[in-house]
Homo-oligomer: A and B are copies of this chain.
Amino acid sequence: MAEKTRPKVVSIKSGNQPVTSYDVARHAGVSQSAVSRCFKPGASVSEKMRERVMKAADELGYEPNAIARSLISGRSNLVAILISNLTNLYYPEVLAELTQRFSAHGVRVLLFALKSEADANETLQQIWPYRVDGVIAAAELSPDHVAEFEKRGMPLVFYNRYLAGNSASFVCCDQEDGARQLIDGLYNAGHRRMAIIAGPPESVVGVERKTAALERLEELGLDDVPVLEGDYSYESGFALAEKLATGNGKCPDAIICANDVMAIGALDAFRVNHGMSAPEDISVVGFDGVGPSNWKSYDLTTVRQPVRRMTEAAVTMLISMIEEPGSPNEKRVFSGILKTGASARFAE
């Protein structure tokens, strides 16, 4: 070969600088371990030493290498957040809150956005090599997956999901209570012909919302309530409302939707395609309290999830599981906050 392979020039032109603790040590005339200790809170270092080292570190522009630190210390200060449908309006707020809260604890976030719930397997394989300290899952996982976490001693907190009959930790909004509040309000306002636009059957919280609603309706003596299955999207809310409106004669007068976005879709269907308006001709309620639920054109009656409290809980739980291995699992359920709007005839 004519050309020699010798790309390693001693001084790279644009001065890139992997300053290490050794460089700092040399520059300050101390040992590498001294440098390391100066950057570790609570380590035994004299004031004089700390000053010298910090000065040298500043002069050289030293930043500890988190990768190397992780390797030896066994803590990466990374957590993974698993989210299945980021484009669901509800999640961006959750994600932002989680990220900022972790950040305040010195923990960084590795994001994994699943295309579909089915990708969980593959995604977990991507997570393990990074030796994250813990995982927040806002996505469905199978019992096998959860068992894998246990086997590894990997802290896991579900966010608004959980596994029936499983002891894994989670934070959740009280779907049951929320559903009841909504039903009661509609009932008290005189509604008797209700229908449900539910979430997809794979969605645990969706099923719970639906089940709780049906139970409450039965307690109130309302049977045969139509239940249609949507997928949480605007389009499905729109289409299913259309189906209800054009169904066999008697359109319900109140629709309970499994989330706000479908409620919005439903409202639009009734309005645009049937000239109906809420709350005079029809009542529609949602769930979540996403931003657009407050937009004047919709002004939904809904149950708002206390996102701040819930994310704070999730972060606190995960961090304590990380810092005290072996601490017991925990399940925290927060009540939603009823917000009444103009989308429904409603009486608390």
Chain A residues engaging chain B, CB cutoff 8 angstroms: 12, 14-17, 63-68, 70-71, 76, 78, 81, 86-87, 89, 91-93, 95-96, 99-100, 103, 108-113, 115, 125-126, 128-131, 150-153, 234, 238, 264-265, 267-269, 271-272, 291-292, 294-298
Taking a contact as CB atoms closer than 8 A, the residue among B95, B268, B269 that contacts A86 in the complex is B95
> Could you tell me the distance between the alpha carbons of A111 and B95 in the complex, rounded to whole angstroms?
10
> Could you tell me the distance between the alpha carbons of A12 and B151 in the complex, rounded to whole angstroms?
11
A126:B113 contact, CB within 8 angstroms: no
Taking a contact as CB atoms closer than 8 A, the residue among B81, B93, B129 that contacts A63 in the complex is B129
Give A155 Cβ to nearest chain B Cβ, in Å.
12
A264:B109 contact, CB within 8 angstroms: no
> Could you tell me the distance between the alpha carbons of A265 and B298 in the complex, rounded to whole angstroms?
12
On chain B, the residues within 8 Å of A66 by CB distance are 129-131
> Could you tell me the distance between the alpha carbons of A103 and B86 in the complex, rounded to whole angstroms?
15
B113:A67 contact, CB within 8 angstroms: no
A16:B152 contact, CB within 8 angstroms: yes
On chain B, the residues within 8 Å of A92 by CB distance are 86-87, 89, 91-92, 95
> Could you tell me the distance between the alpha carbons of A76 and B199 in the complex, rounded to whole angstroms?
39
Known: A14-B151, A234-B291. A128 touches B93 (CB 8 A): no
* A-B contact sample (10 more), CB < 8 A, given A86-B99, A87-B93: A66-B129, A66-B130, A87-B92, A87-B96, A89-B89, A92-B95, A267-B297, A271-B296, A272-B296, A292-B292
Taking a contact as CB atoms closer than 8 A, the residue among B76, B108, B271 that contacts A67 in the complex is B76
